[in-house]
Structures are given as C-alpha cells and as structure tokens.
Amino acid sequence: MRRLLSLHALLVYLFLYLPILVIAALSFNESRRGVRFTGFTLDWYRALFQDPMVLEYFLNTLVVAFTSTLVSTVLGTLLALGLVRYRFWGRGFLTYLLYIPVVVPDVVMGVSLLLLFAFARELLGFPRLSLLTVILGHITFQVAFVTLVVRSRLLLLDPALEEAARDLGARGLQTFLYVTLPLAWPGVAAGALLALTLSLDDFVVTFFTAGPGATTLPLYIYSSVKLGVSPKVHALSTLLVGLSAFFLALGYALSRRRI
C-alpha cells in the first residue's frame, strides 16, 4: 500500500510539474522551432534582457505587484486584527465573506471589476483603464489572502501577552507595535509574499483591468503565444515561474516559524 501511494504521489507531481520542466528545458534549446533539443544555449535569455519592451513590461509587473502587495498587506493585517481581537455584530459574516475572492472564478472577478471601473468612469469621472486600475484589481483579491494568513497567525497568539503589556502602561498603538506585530510578523510576511506571488502570476484580472501602457509580463506572454511560441517566451516563462516559486517558498518558510 505504501509503495502504491508513493507511486501515486510521484505521478501526481509529474503531472503538475512536468510541463513546467519542459518549458524550462526548451528555454535553453538552441533550436528556434519545435521541441527537438539540438544544443544548449543562453542566447534566448540574452535576447530577452536586451529587449526594451520586455524590460518595460517587467517594470510594470513589479510596480503592480509591489504596490498592490504593500496596500493589501496593511489593509489585510488591520482587518485580521479587528476580526480576531474585537467582538462586534456581523463578525462571523465578514469572516465568511473573506473566502469569496478566494473561491470565485477569476474571470467573474475580472468582468465585475471591468464593469465597476466603467461605471465609476461614467458617473464619477474615474480615470480610464491603466496601471492604477490593475493595482486596484489586484488589491481586491490580495486582501482576502493576506487577511486569512494573518488571522490564522493571530489565533495562535496568547491574548494574555497583550493584556500584560496594557497592564504595564502600554497604550493601544504601543501594544500593537511592540507586542502584537512582532509576534504576528511571520504571518504578515507570509501573507505579503503570497500576495506578491499571486500578483506576479495573475493574468485574468489584469487582462480585464489593464489599459494602454499597462501591459505586464503575463499579458505579454499571452500575446506572444498567439503569434507562435518562441524560445524567448520559454525563457520569460521560466524566469516568471522561478521568481514566483522563490517568493512562495519564502512565504511558506516564514509561515512555518514557531511563535
């Protein structure tokens, strides 16, 4: 039975990660077309870094990812603190609502945000689709993930530590900065890195909320594939997957830290 389960796990991992490994291998392939490996080369990575459009799209991706992550981390941490440390009417319902952005299909969220921005532009003079709307779109789903991660960390903390700080004369902000935040920091960092990873990989929400001049790497990869898959796309996909995997692994390591 144990060998059967091990074989099953191996097959599942191969099914999940073999396509990514194939893309990574083809990014070093000397051949421009096809999947036949004719030789090892780094020319596609050199061409990638020498392309000014790719560098622009990479900068747009970083601006969207880090800005939305910063805002969503602050909002998500404060929301998690309020849900865990305070009792108020509707708290359970608000906690339940956090799972909606997590489980709702991305295409539904993308279309909803597009309609929302169009409605706001018609009635309130909201700016047209740009990097700002992409950032706002990413924040809408990042906040939920950050809140859930930080909330799980806060539930493990002993409230007596905060009560002891207040008994010693610490005010609310001092208790938060010197007691609560340091103890919850691994969860905050893990939530931020998870949000950053989701932003780097996001395509659907970005597709519906991006305007002229707001192209990101996932959008560039999608448009390039429609014209034919080239080794440059393989190289860019490999770098994007590697960057996302790094932040995801770092977030997992931080979330596993003991209190």
Which of 35, 101, 69, 24 shows the shortest CA–CA distance to 193?
Answer: 69
Q: Could you give the CA distance from residue 134 to residue 205 in angstroms, rounded to a whole number?
A: 8
Longest dimension (CA), the chain: 71
- pLDDT tens-place string over residues 203-214: 889 999 887 778
Which of 196, 184, 188 shows the shortest CA–CA distance to 248?
Answer: 196
Angle at 195 between CA 190 and CA 196, to 5 degrees: 95
Half-sphere exposure of 7 (CA within 13 A, CB side): 4
Of the pLDDT bands very low, low, confident and very high (cuts 50, 70, 90), residue 147 is very high
Assess contact for 76 and 142: CB atoms under 8 A.
Answer: yes
Q: Would the CA dihedral through 218, 220, 221, 226 be positive or negative?
A: positive
Q: Which residue has the higher pLDDT, 37 or 255?
A: 37
Assess contact for 53 and 120: CB atoms under 8 A.
Answer: no
- pLDDT tens-place string over residues 214-248: 888 888 888 877 666 677 778 888 888 888 788 77
User: What string of DSSP letters covers 103-116?
Assistant: HS-HHHHHHHHHHH
